[in-house]
Structure 1
Amino acid sequence: MNAESLTRTDLGSAAGIAWTLSTPAAELPAPWSGLAGATTPATVPGEVYADLLTAGLIPDPFDGDNEAKLAWIGRTDWSYRATFSFQRTLSSSKGDRHDLVTDGLDTVATITLNGTEVGRTANQHRGYRFDVTSLLVDGDNELVIDFEGPATAARRLEAELGDPRPASYAHPYNAIRKAASTYGWDWGPDLAGAGIWRPIGIESWSTARIAAVRPLAAPSPDGGGVLTAHVDLEWAAGATEPTKISVEIGGHRAEQDVAPGTASAVIMVEVPDAELWWPVGYGEQPLYPVTVTLGSAPSTGSGIDTWRGRVGFRTVEISTAPDRAGSEFVILVNGRRMFVKGANWIPDDALITRTSRETYLNSIMDARDSGMNLLRVWGGGFYESEDFYDLCDELGILVWQDFLFACAAYAEEEPLASEVEAEARQAITRLSRHASLAVWNGNNENLWGYVDWGWKAKLGDLTWGDGYYSDLLPALVAELDPRTPYTAGSPSSPPKYHYPNDYRHGTMHIWDVWNRVDYAHYRDYPARFVAEFGFQGPPAWSTLTSVVHDQPLDPFGPQMLVHQKAGDGNLKLQLGLGDHLPMWSTEPFHADDWHWTTQLNQARAVGYGIAHFRSLHPLNSGTVVWQLNDQWPVISWAAVDSTGIRKPLWYALKAVYADRLITVQPRPASNGPFDLQPIEGQAPAVIIHNDSDEPWSGTLSITRRSTGLGSETLAEQEVTFEAAPRSAVTIEPAPELITPEDPTAEFLALVAEGAADAYWYFVEDTSLRVHPQDDAATVTVVGDGGVQRVTVRAEALIKDLAIFPDRLDPAARVDSGLITLTAGQSHTFVITAPAPLDEAALTTRPVLRSVNDLITG
């Protein structure tokens, strides 16, 4: 067969194509009126906000109150324009057919080539392909993409769909297939923009091309694996000659002849030496390159089209088996029950085209380094780039992928319905190969909203998305990715019409803690699987003060509140202290203490909840904290702020997500796995959770000690224990250990080889008697090139030590945090910075902090 290979002509800025941005608006608000009729250099892939910022035409939308000042951008139409050269006789553009391929347009766009309309788009979450063979000319070609303002487009589409449907925020983001969070969320700015946000190019081909590949890899019952490659084809008009499809993986190959017009083919390749892919902590992550060639064998390199990717061999199931406590929610990988230690993932930058493989790697390593094994890609964002999923494959991080429906009712009528199906087909097809993909989830909180948030009465007979979650999406997953399980929503409880957020069944979201009640109420829930819960805290000091310029700094200052999107968020930070930590000074306001106290309280609250849920093993099978990352400088639920600084919460997560955990929890004397009772009057019990593949045995030392100088031992007990792999055991301390003489000046310390020390206090910190930080510890600093080591040696109990080098240099980082020491113990913080930091400042407030300095003032 004589046919030219498929080639792609990149039309992005990296290929030297000069794009410009302009607006057809006749009038714009001052001081931007000069942009009307003007052109600005643009980057493709890119977006309006980033282009205007790069050109110096707008201030940083993250800074101060600029977000509101720039709201006109979302109400304005925009045009991207480029001229590119094309020659049909060049090797890079030979072919009978030439397609304009847009991998991502944001969002409502009209495409014009050489003055002729090519097509229209209305979905940020899918790609489009247009045959432009008859429109291209040899020489210069002009491509124009006109975008409707995203704020006005959403309103127009809402009106066309009929009566408004409930949504959680001001914009009708549920009427348009654009990332919901770009219109603003309770942690994100309203920066809904427009742009060519993913690659664009011309694909030239003859005879046929590979339209899609779904290489589904599965283990064989007798060992090894089988790759089932589903290959979709598109044929050029008039193609008459048969061709061949070949699939190669791991040195093994199979091929199949295909006749002209064949729409799809299925080719199976046995890989007898394939090894299983495992999540981190359960095994290795072997990945196998796959090459699919249309027209010849991969080794010849003369095929007319080629697809490449990587796969891993694994199985994933979800068990919702009933038991006497309700019904479980357990993810099984390769038949093994997992304990999920995860976090929710939001878009990693509010200007999404600034993300890269490097930024994804940094953020995913934040998850892995903290002990996480799962990230949930939340439904108000995007189907992420290949870099994200490739890195999760490599690092063993499972991906729970929401379909993109969040906190709203969605119309099931046209034109939305067709877009939803096309988008879902593309997403499932693209992501199905990834070994890390563990869950397809229908929506975020929409089932809960319909049942419990008053939607049902407001909607009447209007559709709200149930047809998507109950029929369309599960059918598409079954058709396109049958090896990955589907859940209808989060939270959800089987059967379908059961209350979605029942702690006894399925997945649960816990938001009364944070919104209404003290974090001690996490213990009210013997939850089976917690897919969302969290508590707020500010970002690093340097991150916060880089954008908040209120003088003096105040939680309720005008710019501070721009960077606090949650309703009454800073009031909830204050109320959330409860009796746990002392209140900061308000006359005058002590910003340093406010910042440290609220960061610490966030860490305490989430760590408290996770320790409780882990102590319920096997009743509880996992937690997915809200949230791992931030997308701009903001007070939020994130563990890592938008500049990459790990907040105290991150260090709490690392401690409580450790494979081997010792925790003290209130329990009745005869506690069984399903016999939780109200905690009033219960005694502290020790739970040892061994979430590893190795047995853990040894001696647990429990001592009741004084908080004073010398940390005097008042009572002690040694208990031998054996914890089998992936199991938990409960130990009841001796009565003399849990009966303090002075609860305000005593605590329990628990030590066992193989785990971090654990502590139990008989009173809250507001009643605890400790020595001042300067009396309780000595601090030394040793410099070594670009690294400084700060060693703290305790003379008495010093609780939750943390060091904040970013207050001296925003680029400085520290390796550890939230360290508790008793007399005679020491800890060394390792600090890296571009230049040595002031040693005196490293050893004093506000850089070196502890609970002691909050209690003693």
Structure 2
Amino acid sequence: MMTEQMLDRDWEFRKVGDDGWLPAEVPGCNHTDLLSHGMIEDPFWRLNEADLQWIDKEDWEYRMSFDVDEATLSKQKVALHFYGLDTYASVQVNGVEVLSADNMFREWWVDVKEVLKVGKNSLRIYFKSPINEGVKLYDDLDYVVPAQFTDQAEHGQVEGGKRVSVHTRKPGYHYGWDWGPRLVSSGIWRPIVLKAWDDARIADVQVLQQQVNDECASLAAVYELEVGVACSARLELRCAGDVLASEQLELSPGESCHRLEFSIENPKLWWCNGLGEAHLYDLDCILVCGQSEQVVRERVGIRTIELVQEDDQVGRSFFFRLNGVPVFMKGANYIPNDIYPTRVDEDKYREVIDTAKASNFNMLRVWGGGYYEEDLFYDLCDEAGILVWQDFMFACAMFPGHDAFLESVRQEAIDNIKRLRNHACLALWCGNNEIVVAWERWGWKEREMELGQEHVDRLWRHYEVLFHELLAEVVDEYDPGTDYWSSSPSVEPGVPSELTHGDEHYWGVWHKKLPYETYSTHVGRFMSEYGFQSFPELKTVNEYALPEDYGLLTDVMKAHQRSPVGNEAIRHYMLQSYNEPKDFEEFLYVGQVLQAELIKYAIEAHRRAMPYCMGTLYWQLNDCWPVASWSSMDSSLRWKAQQFFVKKAYQPVLLSSFVEGDRFTLHVINDHLHELDGELSLELIDFHGQVLAERNMLVTVPANSSGVYFESDVPDVVENYPVKQSALVARLNVAGSEQAKCVFYFAKVKELALPRPDLGWKMSPGDGVMRLELEADMLIKNLYLSLSPGDAKFPDNYFDLLPGESVVMDVESDLDEQAFAEALTWRSISQ
């Protein structure tokens, strides 16, 4: 039996050169430890970030003592397992250096039996400054590796403005991004465990799904064993107490792999969110040696997943086939939930994945400028039926190509592939984010040409070795059942994206300030990035600013708006469709509605284009600090307007109205794997609820399809009624139940003759919720409900409350009825 001792208590830390030691939290980092002792101010508050740039230029030490008993030390093998060190770390046990680490993304196993003693032992870790070490690596090269877009060296007060992030295997976003701060940490960011065992141990188990159908799943479990001494052993595989396979072995010292074939009759398949149950099997992988037994549990979902790229009449497809079914992917890009990973607790992970599931996601893309997420993240995605597009940790820069760097990346990739490959949610490995498109189309190659063709050829050769050879080979060796895509967006290795092939990132809306209507014309085979910014709501703004900081041009607000075109772009698009807000709070509200409407517009364009387009992942789901960004939920996990809109835009059955020129079309999208027979109704109403015109039709909507079910010239739809005072309401009813609804306006919001409504409500308290019944006798456009003071979770918000309709919702709140009534406030575009 392997024994494990968690080394997470009684740690101390100090800045190298200081005399005193202070208590430290492990896992953690130097920033969070300094903060807990009041030695630095909150990095997120106002302009504090700028005052903390000294921390990453210093070296830091951590130390602790731990007891080892005689029984542990008598084991044949005793090792320290470092799950994650950030980043340049020298580890000493009882004064003897046992490890020199240099990659935050790696795990490290160190044999320490010979340096331990019975009783008290010391563990000391010296962390070198990631900036100073990066500068050394920068200076050692006779050329500069370009990293202009990913390393805010000037903001970080790095001497000479040297962009050193690409030389260090550490999250790129720590060095600053256009939505995040620059806070470069050091520390013990994942657990350290002392492990001891006799004879042999299971180092890893890979579960291979060889053939899967409804009748039978043929699988294999490959045990990777580390054997200390020759011994007789038995391998066994169990599920729910049943033995699926076993084998008796004679083991020799060293590392070896052993394969157990097994099958599961009539398997329950794992399906993504919206298509069925995300069923998981618990497999107990057992090694018995003499009197000892080791059990490793693997949770697997039985499914097939493949990226399908086949030539067709317009180019080449790009879609995921799950269990033999083409699936339209709906989701978002995901970044780390905090600049300091150890502050993301289980509750926060659950809240984020619950949001994804509740918002009808079936995919998240783990973006390449962060880190390979915690096991819990993938466990939750397994349970929720959220597929994961997993980037390797490279984004928006070129990288070195010397042997030491490549070998470090190889080991990093092996560690993380082996850790994640059994997860049902894992759909794709992707080499990097936006490097090939930047090299070919953002002027990178042309700028580097100033240093000559030899320099350009060297940079590109390093790229090819890393992303076309090394990572592709490691995926093929360690996870051959999962597809590899070298760069997002791209067509094929080394070729940037095209609308007819590959995946596409579209930033013409935002960076180029192209009309938002181009979202409906710039549609590729898989839209893996696009987005629009907004500020968080005022409650979140108040977490980093004072009232005196309100306004787009204050120093504090500019420090929490990292996009160089951010506020200008928001205002540019806002004034196209909305009147100018009269104050800062109104700007926050209208800005969120604007973001929501534009992303909804894009999503519907992508879904209408199915099966030509088979995926839409907007940028981005979450934030790592309070900031103006492209997120749909802010750093405090409050849903922005966009999250509420996305939830509806991603629902399995969608009605989408669209006008091109003078032609109106109504599309029905059905993601279900069964057809729908129902009634489609259209009502043209005025803003006081009068029905001006109506029509009904019976429709049959095929499974997994998108199509036009009504079309007409706009004048025929609106007849003679003024478009500024009316809206078209479409509903799809199946078996008497409303499956989908959409409301379409034929004029821009600022042109609508919106009434000044009153909101009526009734409320009744329940167990932890307040039931609200809302109604109005005239249209309330983008009704926004909130509590002031207080906070609450509204199941819907920023929605259009139609005249004469009643909306009932259960609001999560701890307030009693009187306090809730006094705190409830509302806002609409009419105001």
TM range (shorter): over 0.9
**How far has the Cα of 1:99 moved from its partner?**
1.3
CA distance in structure 2 between the aligned counterparts of 1:305 and 1:287, rounded to whole angstroms: 22
SS in 1 for 2:730: strand
2:789 counterpart residue number: 808
Question: Does residue 63 of structure 1 match 2:45?
Answer: yes
Query: Which of 755, 760, 765 does residue 749 from structure 2 map onto?
Result: 765
SS in 2 for 1:8: strand
**How far has the Cα of 1:66 moved from its partner?**
1.2
CA RMSD of aligned residues (A): 2.0
**How far has the Cα of 1:648 moved from its partner?**
0.7
Stretch deviating more after TM superposition (724-733 or 605-614): 724-733
Aligned residue identity for 2:409: V
Q: Counterparts in 2 of 1:598-747, with a 5 A limit? A: 598-666=591-659, 679=660, 681-707=661-687, 709=688, 711-735=689-713, 736-747=716-727
Q: Counterparts in 2 of 1:763-802, with a 5 A limit? A: 763-774=747-758, 777-784=759-766, 786-802=768-784
Question: Does residue 488 of structure 1 match 2:469?
Answer: no
Aligned residue identity for 2:690: E
CA distance in structure 1 between the aligned counterparts of 2:804 and 2:214, rounded to whole angstroms: 56
User: Given that residues 293 and 303 in structure 1 are in contact (C-alpha distance below 8 angstroms), is that contact kept between their aligned partners in structure 2?
Assistant: no
User: Given that residues 161 and 413 in structure 1 are in contact (C-alpha distance below 8 angstroms), is that contact kept between their aligned partners in structure 2?
Assistant: no
User: Given that residues 91 and 125 in structure 2 are in contact (C-alpha distance below 8 angstroms), is that contact kept between their aligned partners in structure 1?
Assistant: yes
Query: Which of 378, 386, 392 does residue 367 from structure 2 map onto?
Result: 378
Aligned residue identity for 2:203: A
User: Given that residues 227 and 251 in structure 2 are in contact (C-alpha distance below 8 angstroms), is that contact kept between their aligned partners in structure 1?
Assistant: no
Question: Over residues 124-161 of structure 1, what are the superposed CA-to-partner deviations in whole Å (9 max), with x where a residue is unaligned?
Answer: 10111112222112221111101112222322222234
Q: Counterparts in 2 of 1:419-438, with a 5 A limit? A: 419-438=408-427
CA distance in structure 2 between the aligned counterparts of 1:524 and 1:728, rounded to whole angstroms: 17
2:531 counterpart residue number: 534
User: Given that residues 9 and 93 in structure 1 are in contact (C-alpha distance below 8 angstroms), is that contact kept between their aligned partners in structure 2?
Assistant: no
Q: Counterparts in 2 of 1:180-259, with a 5 A limit? A: 180-221=172-213, 223-236=215-228, 239-250=229-240, 251=242, 252-259=244-251
Distance change (3 Å), C-alpha of 1:38 and 1:388: same
Question: Over residues 184-243 of structure 1, what are the superposed CA-to-partner deviations in whole Å (9 max), with x where a residue is unaligned?
Answer: 21111112101111111222223322222212235445722233222222233xx23343
1:592 counterpart residue number: 585
Question: Does residue 164 of structure 1 match 2:144?
Answer: yes
CA distance in structure 2 between the aligned counterparts of 1:840 and 1:266, rounded to whole angstroms: 64
Q: Structure 1: where are the runs of 5+ without partners?
A: 26-35, 667-678
Question: Over residues 318-354 of structure 1, what are the superposed CA-to-partner deviations in whole Å (9 max), with x where a residue is unaligned?
Answer: 1111222221111011111101111111111212102
SS in 2 for 1:228: strand
Q: Counterparts in 2 of 1:302-381, with a 5 A limit? A: 302-303=291-292, 305-381=294-370
1:179 counterpart residue number: 171
Distance change (3 Å), C-alpha of 1:166 and 1:749: same
CA distance in structure 1 between the aligned counterparts of 2:184 and 2:547, rounded to whole angstroms: 26
User: Given that residues 216 and 267 in structure 2 are in contact (C-alpha distance below 8 angstroms), is that contact kept between their aligned partners in structure 1?
Assistant: yes
Stretch deviating more after TM superposition (207-216 or 715-724): 207-216
Question: Does residue 291 of structure 1 match 2:301?
Answer: no
SS in 2 for 1:618: coil
Question: Over residues 461-489 of structure 1, what are the superposed CA-to-partner deviations in whole Å (9 max), with x where a residue is unaligned?
Answer: 33342222211212211211111111111
CA distance in structure 2 between the aligned counterparts of 1:197 and 1:21, rounded to whole angstroms: 14
Question: Does residue 751 of structure 1 match 2:731?
Answer: yes
Distance change (3 Å), C-alpha of 1:325 and 1:197: same
Question: Does residue 476 of structure 1 match 2:496?
Answer: no
SS in 2 for 1:512: coil
CA distance in structure 2 between the aligned counterparts of 1:50 and 1:24, rounded to whole angstroms: 17
1:52 counterpart residue number: 34
Distance change (3 Å), C-alpha of 1:665 and 1:82: same
Question: Over residues 796-831 of structure 1, what are the superposed CA-to-partner deviations in whole Å (9 max), with x where a residue is unaligned?
Answer: 2222212122x421x422121132233211223433
User: Given that residues 538 and 636 in structure 1 are in contact (C-alpha distance below 8 angstroms), is that contact kept between their aligned partners in structure 2?
Assistant: yes
Stretch deviating more after TM superposition (554-563 or 168-177): 168-177
User: Given that residues 705 and 746 in structure 1 are in contact (C-alpha distance below 8 angstroms), is that contact kept between their aligned partners in structure 2?
Assistant: yes
User: Given that residues 237 and 286 in structure 2 are in contact (C-alpha distance below 8 angstroms), is that contact kept between their aligned partners in structure 1?
Assistant: yes
Question: Over residues 41-93 of structure 1, what are the superposed CA-to-partner deviations in whole Å (9 max), with x where a residue is unaligned?
Answer: 01111111111222222221111111111111112111011111113x22x44
Query: Which of 401, 408, 411 does residue 412 from structure 1 map onto?
Result: 401
TM-score, scaled relative to structure 1: 0.90
1:546 counterpart residue number: 543
2:23 counterpart residue number: 41
SS in 2 for 1:425: helix
1:80 counterpart residue number: 62
Stretch deviating more after TM superposition (516-525 or 310-319): 516-525
Aligned residue identity for 2:667: I
Aligned residue identity for 2:434: E
2:155 counterpart residue number: none
1:270 counterpart residue number: 263
CA distance in structure 2 between the aligned counterparts of 1:160 and 1:223, rounded to whole angstroms: 60
Question: Does residue 577 of structure 1 match 2:558?
Answer: no
Query: Percent of counterpart pairs with the same letter?
Result: 32
SS in 2 for 1:771: coil
CA distance in structure 1 between the aligned counterparts of 2:819 and 2:194, rounded to whole angstroms: 56
User: Given that residues 436 and 494 in structure 2 are in contact (C-alpha distance below 8 angstroms), is that contact kept between their aligned partners in structure 1?
Assistant: no
CA distance in structure 2 between the aligned counterparts of 1:172 and 1:461, rounded to whole angstroms: 21
**How far has the Cα of 1:404 moved from its partner?**
0.8
Aligned residue identity for 2:789: L
Stretch deviating more after TM superposition (743-752 or 256-265): 256-265
CA distance in structure 1 between the aligned counterparts of 2:230 and 2:691, rounded to whole angstroms: 89
User: Given that residues 218 and 313 in structure 1 are in contact (C-alpha distance below 8 angstroms), is that contact kept between their aligned partners in structure 2?
Assistant: no
Aligned residue identity for 1:430: R
SS in 2 for 1:466: helix
Distance change (3 Å), C-alpha of 1:284 and 1:94: farther
2:451 counterpart residue number: none
SS in 2 for 1:229: strand
SS in 2 for 1:477: helix
**How far has the Cα of 1:734 moved from its partner?**
4.6
**How far has the Cα of 1:780 moved from its partner?**
4.1
Q: Counterparts in 2 of 1:148-163, with a 5 A limit? A: 148-163=128-143
CA distance in structure 2 between the aligned counterparts of 1:324 and 1:126, rounded to whole angstroms: 44
SS in 2 for 1:528: coil
Q: Counterparts in 2 of 1:70-109, with a 5 A limit? A: 70-87=52-69, 89-90=70-71, 92-109=72-89
User: Given that residues 129 and 186 in structure 2 are in contact (C-alpha distance below 8 angstroms), is that contact kept between their aligned partners in structure 1?
Assistant: yes
Aligned residue identity for 2:441: D
User: Given that residues 311 and 433 in structure 1 are in contact (C-alpha distance below 8 angstroms), is that contact kept between their aligned partners in structure 2?
Assistant: yes
Distance change (3 Å), C-alpha of 1:37 and 1:819: same
**How far has the Cα of 1:516 moved from its partner?**
2.1
Stretch deviating more after TM superposition (273-282 or 194-203): 273-282
SS in 2 for 1:608: helix
TM-score, scaled relative to structure 2: 0.93
1:32 counterpart residue number: none
**How far has the Cα of 1:833 moved from its partner?**
2.6
User: Given that residues 443 and 488 in structure 1 are in contact (C-alpha distance below 8 angstroms), is that contact kept between their aligned partners in structure 2?
Assistant: yes
**How far has the Cα of 1:783 moved from its partner?**
4.5
CA distance in structure 2 between the aligned counterparts of 1:562 and 1:425, rounded to whole angstroms: 38
User: Given that residues 256 and 267 in structure 1 are in contact (C-alpha distance below 8 angstroms), is that contact kept between their aligned partners in structure 2?
Assistant: no
CA distance in structure 1 between the aligned counterparts of 2:247 and 2:621, rounded to whole angstroms: 44
SS in 2 for 1:274: coil
**How far has the Cα of 1:580 moved from its partner?**
1.4
CA distance in structure 1 between the aligned counterparts of 2:239 and 2:765, rounded to whole angstroms: 51
User: Given that residues 578 and 749 in structure 2 are in contact (C-alpha distance below 8 angstroms), is that contact kept between their aligned partners in structure 1?
Assistant: yes
Aligned length in residues: 799
SS in 2 for 1:716: strand
Question: Does residue 467 of structure 1 match 2:465?
Answer: yes
1:30 counterpart residue number: none
